[in-house]
Structure 1
Amino acid sequence: MAYWDSEFQRVQSPFLRYGISVAAVVIATAIALAVQEYQFRDVELPVLVLVVGLVTWYAGTGPAVVAVLLSTAVFAYFFAEPLYSFYVSARDLPYFLIFVLSAVIVASFSAVRRRIEDNLRHARDQLQIELLQRRQHEVEIRKLNMELTERAAELAAANKELESFAYSVSHDLRAPLRHLVGYSELLQKHATSSLDEKSQRYLQTILEAAKKMGNLIDDLLAFSRIGRAEAKTTAVDMQQLVAEVTSEIGAQANGQEISWKIGALPVCLGDRALLRLVLVNLLANAVKFSGTRPQAEVEIGSVDGHGDKPEIFVKDNGVGFDMQYADKLFGVFQRLHRADEFEGTGIGLATVQSIVNRHGGAVRAEGTLDQGATFYFSLPNAKQPVERTVSAP
């Protein structure tokens, strides 16, 4: 039945559908008359009602109406008294009305069921389409995940190679640089009397440049070790850690006036030594870039971040920076100020970003030229019960 129903659903010609209606009623009438010849009575009602139902089911509503009208006329003409007349006697009127009512009810139920079947079929087709689309999306997602996994592995391998390269290069440069500094100092010590003022200035420039290069190599080695070193995750009291670092920096300030303002700080998850290095770099920068002020004002506090990661900030009243160059702040050897204005190698903020990223956090900066800067970094809150392990990228 489902097969034939689906076949008739594909019939678009109205002539064929109405032709089926007429032909079905004619065949049913012939069958009823033939059976009646063999003295079987009252067969016409179920036969014609069945035909009405079938026509409604397979041909549609319009042909069903035609089938009901033709069946009613055939029933009145051939099977209701007086025979061969469309007039129905009072004795056969109840029988005739029963037939009409049965035909209408069967046609109605068939139409409703047909509509329900159509809706179900349409819903099934839509579900199949959605299921196919979902499978295609799942295949695409799996493919993208595989590509991301491969790229992440390639990126991790590239980072390791880069760290190894930086370590090797830096380590290999130290020996010839030591020779350069050592022999320059020996030359300065033993040949000072034989050199004029200009030559002595040249020699001093060589020594200063070599020592600066040595500092750069030392910082580069320290930066490369951050990615290679194992980290131990513990609950770190940032309030206590900040107090230790500010006390240390204040003792090394060489007479600079510093006003510390320390707000409430959370207990975070992380490696204490690495987080101490983060604070040392940020607070030392805040003091250094506030050196042109009569009094350096440094504020440390925290704000609500995203989820279980509060943000800790370090704010100063220093020279600040132009926000259009903010993306250069955290690059290796990137500087926004001249070396003769502020000393440094440009590794500190890159180190901060590397450590914070290893802890699953993020770093950002806000600043205005000649009006100070604020650096934010987020860390996981130690109050969360989930244990985390800081691992190398």
Structure 2
Amino acid sequence: MEKKSKDHSFTGQLLDKAGALIRKGMSKMDDHPEEKNLADVAELQKQLKDLEARHEQLQKEKALQDQIIYNISDGFFIIDQEGKMLVVNDALCVMTGFSREEMINLKPPYPYWPEEELENIGEAFRQKFNKEASSFKLIFKRKNEERFSAILETNDIEDADGKITHCFATIRDLSKLEKAFQKVEESRQKYEDLYERTSDCIYKTTPDGKVVRANPALVKMLGFESEEELKKVTITKDLYFDPNERQKILDEKLETYRLKRKDGSEVWVEDQGYFTKDENGKVIFHEGILRDITDRKRAEDELRKSELALRAKNDLLQSILDSPKDIFIFSLDTDYCYKAFSTSHQLSVKKNKGVDIEIGMSIMEINPDPSNWEKVKVNIDRTLQGEQLVFIEKYSHNNRFESYWENRYSPIYAEDGSITGLTVFMMDVSARMLDQQKLSKSEKALKEAQKLSKTGSWEMDLRDGSLEWSEELYRIFELENIEKEQLYQAFQNRVYKEDAPLLNEKIKNLIEKGESYVIEHRIYTKGDDLKHVLCKGEPLFNEQEEVIGIRGVTLDITEKKAQEKLIEQNLETLNQQNNELHRLIESNVKLENFAYIASHDLRSPVRTMNSFTGLLKSRAGNKLDEEEMKFLDFIAKGARDIQGLIDDMLAYSKVKSKGFNATGLNVKDLLQNLLATLSADIRENNARVSILEVPDVIWGDRIKLWQVFQNLILNAMKFHTKGSSPVVTISGETTEQEWIFEIRDNGIGIDPEFHEKIFVLFRQLNTKDEFDGTGLGLAICKKIIEQHKGRIWVESEPDQGATFFFALPRVSDNHETLGIG
């Protein structure tokens, strides 16, 4: 026979004790047969029932405890004073790769402790047992020898004398968080590499003419030594020949204009820029990409001059056409015939179209496809009308690869100003477009990664104190509208005052010693609430190994902290509720025992008192005066009240002791039979009781539900307004999970203050002079409904009548209850 493993949980130990008591009681009956009189047997049976009920309750509590332990997402274990592993949840097994059997009953070192970390782990446990700390960041290992970082949180379990008997702890795997940091850093590094290596000139400026960012290509194009040197210039004064030029360019959104290099020379640029605005629509940055088109501009100028002044000298024109490299140039007359072309264009047409072009040939001859020609013709005609066109077109090369070409169509003017043809410039911009796509994708990926992970990046230049933040970091600190010059001070003001000294010390050590840091600290929000952030900083060095800046990332961990706190609070609340449940169960058992014994023992003397009062009244009635007869009536009424109280107490105590006999019930039949039984009471109270729509068949204990309906209907008739007849309606409905019943009356109503109290034992809101009763009827109803795993409540206002509801859980077709056990 298979041997069951011993349950080492706390609830399991209680279950073992309860079982031992049950066996001891049975043994006592066997060892003393001579004492088996009826009283002893009844007492032992009662004790056994109590123990069995306690045993069942402990089993339920154990199931609930196991469900909590094995469903939390963090690793969880319990050890005794010797360090023996008593409980291990599934999360810890998945995290480490070790099975529960490989860890249960082991003492330190545990299998997931790496040998090289034993000293650190031992020091952590030393601090824990000395109560110096309860939370530690440690390195553990998985079964496959992989190491991982984790947070160990420990808690002590003490007995009633305050002595530590056990310890339970959680382990949170940090490996995913560290991988997220690594991915963000890789994305940022890719962006920086592309930013540094691209041939396009990337800029970011402020409306007042300051350079915020400039990549190496822009610094080189303008003839400066470094980005720092370029940042010191005033744009309108140092980069334009006329200080008013910049404003004109921004207002008219010019794409082509000239700039002044550091040495005073001229450089023509093509600007693909845009304005960045704040939430109020105010421009805060002008940024984009510049491209040096000085050579192209000069070529265009030279070509225009040559066509106007020397169009008869074809050899000179041809040399001009061929001067720019990687540019295809050709000119057409108003009949679409070639006037001139560069050698590069001639070779390209030969390669791609198989046609040898020559002066005077129509361009239509190399575009036999009508749809393709119509597209080209539209652009030519627009140019011959005086328009200058600039656009980028994508070409597919036999589905093997794609290329991008920038096309510029410019009219050719005669000396009298008439248009005699056009010139077309075609430049391969595939590399540039690819760089732009990569840069755009990288920027988008970085922003999305930071937004999804709630991680912001930042960089501080210690030489000039400038601070650069990513968009997500502005959102985390809620500083979207802050001026850049005020950013560092605003950041310092956001840091929680108690955390500021440690953070500043970390920054100081980084600057002075080059030490990286990782720190959790709190920050204020706009509404003075607190957020929790995890910040990592690392130094930036120059060629002399001097710290010149700090680069880092900041992660918003507020939700993580809130979840940890909620778990802590839920565990504490669960413990409190568990203790309260123990107390209530014990109190309820004592109350039921007392009610049964008291009511059972009092019935005989009360019957005697009632009988003798009747005899005394009948035999001595003519000898007593009116006042003495009144006294006898008071005694008789008191005996009857006591008898009613005893009967109700017995009914209350027997609700559970009678057991639970659930069957299928026809509700309408039950109610009609009940009303027939109550017909005398209905006539006596001149009441009208109606049965409306109710569920056809429900599942429950017929006798007990009969008692619930009877008590509620009698109450509805009893507590009615004087001078009016009681009107009672009974209805019900079926929902997905429950059967809900409603007993509505037109009586005196109940103040909402007492809606909960009326279900408590002996609680009466009215005096016996107003309404008879013991105050047990609703308590009995509540106990029966709770035995059905249901709920009961009332909705009422004074003088507005009352509606009592009770709900019973529905059952499946095979009569297995959803909630009744």
Q: Is the shorter-chain TM-score for this pair beyond 0.5, marking a shared fold?
A: yes
Cα pair 1:232 1:390 within 8 Å, conserved = no
The 2-side partners of 1:133 and 1:254 are apart by 66
1:233 matches 2:662: yes
Higher helix fraction (1 or 2): 1
Residues 339-371 of structure 1, C-alpha deviation per residue, up to 9 Å, x if partnerless? Answer: 3444332322332233233331323244663x7
Q: Which residue of 1 aligns with 2:704?
A: 274
- The structure 2 residue matched to 1:364, chosen from 764, 783, 794, is 794
The 1-side partners of 2:453 and 2:731 are apart by 59
Letter in 2 for 1:320: I
The 1-side partners of 2:819 and 2:441 are apart by 65
Q: Which residue of 2 aligns with 1:320?
A: 748
When normalised by structure 1's length, the TM-score is 0.63
Residues 52-81 of structure 1, C-alpha deviation per residue, up to 9 Å, x if partnerless? Answer: 369x99xxx96652345427969xxxxxxx
What SS does the corresponding residue of 2:805 show, helix, strand or coil? strand
The correspondence of residues 163-178 of structure 1 with structure 2, limited to 5 A, is 163-174=592-603, 177-178=606-607
The correspondence of residues 278-297 of structure 1 with structure 2, limited to 5 A, is 278-289=708-719, 297=727
Cα pair 1:288 1:342 within 8 Å, conserved = yes
Higher strand fraction (1 or 2): 2
The 2-side partners of 1:215 and 1:271 are apart by 24
Cα pair 1:163 1:227 within 8 Å, conserved = no
Cα 1:363–1:151 change in 2 (3 A) is: same
Q: Which residue of 1 aligns with 2:525?
A: none
Q: Which residue of 1 aligns with 2:590?
A: 161
Q: Which residue of 2 aligns with 1:66?
A: 216
The 1-side partners of 2:450 and 2:625 are apart by 102
Consecutive unaligned residues of structure 2, counting only runs of 5 or more, are 1-180, 203-210, 225-293, 299-319, 327-426, 456-554
The 2-side partners of 1:71 and 1:297 are apart by 96
The correspondence of residues 209-224 of structure 1 with structure 2, limited to 5 A, is 209-224=638-653
Cα pair 1:367 1:374 within 8 Å, conserved = no
The 1-side partners of 2:601 and 2:752 are apart by 37
Q: Which residue of 1 aligns with 2:75?
A: none
Cα pair 1:310 1:378 within 8 Å, conserved = yes
> What is the number of equivalent residue pairs in this alignment?
340
Q: Which residue of 1 aligns with 2:557?
A: 129
Residues 126-181 of structure 1, C-alpha deviation per residue, up to 9 Å, x if partnerless? Answer: 58837734751445444444444444444344333333333344345445545654
The 2-side partners of 1:106 and 1:291 are apart by 88
- The structure 1 residue matched to 2:197, chosen from 46, 52, 56, is 52
When normalised by structure 2's length, the TM-score is 0.34
What SS does the corresponding residue of 2:672 show, helix, strand or coil? helix
Cα 1:263–1:124 change in 2 (3 A) is: closer
Q: Which residue of 2 aligns with 1:348?
A: 777
The correspondence of residues 189-204 of structure 1 with structure 2, limited to 5 A, is 197-204=626-633
The 1-side partners of 2:448 and 2:619 are apart by 103
The 2-side partners of 1:50 and 1:265 are apart by 75
In angstroms, what is the RMSD of aligned CA positions? 5.2
Letter in 2 for 1:241: L
Cα 1:53–1:164 change in 2 (3 A) is: farther
The correspondence of residues 137-148 of structure 1 with structure 2, limited to 5 A, is 137-148=566-577
Cα pair 2:691 2:731 within 8 Å, conserved = yes
The 2-side partners of 1:244 and 1:103 are apart by 92
Question: What's the offset of the Cα at 1:213?
Answer: 1.6
Question: What's the offset of the Cα at 1:240?
Answer: 0.2
Residues 162-204 of structure 1, C-alpha deviation per residue, up to 9 Å, x if partnerless? Answer: 3333334434544554565466556657766776554443344
Cα pair 1:188 1:203 within 8 Å, conserved = yes
Cα pair 1:68 1:104 within 8 Å, conserved = no
Q: Which residue of 2 aligns with 1:120?
A: 449
What SS does the corresponding residue of 1:362 show, helix, strand or coil? strand
Letter in 1 for 2:794: R
What SS does the corresponding residue of 1:339 show, helix, strand or coil? coil
Letter in 2 for 1:52: R
Cα pair 1:52 1:64 within 8 Å, conserved = no
Bigger relative CO (Cα 8 Å, ≥ 6 apart) = 1
Consecutive unaligned residues of structure 1, counting only runs of 5 or more, are 10-20, 22-48, 75-85
Cα pair 2:688 2:727 within 8 Å, conserved = yes
Identity of aligned residues (%): 25
- The structure 2 residue matched to 1:301, chosen from 725, 731, 746, is 731
Cα pair 2:750 2:802 within 8 Å, conserved = no
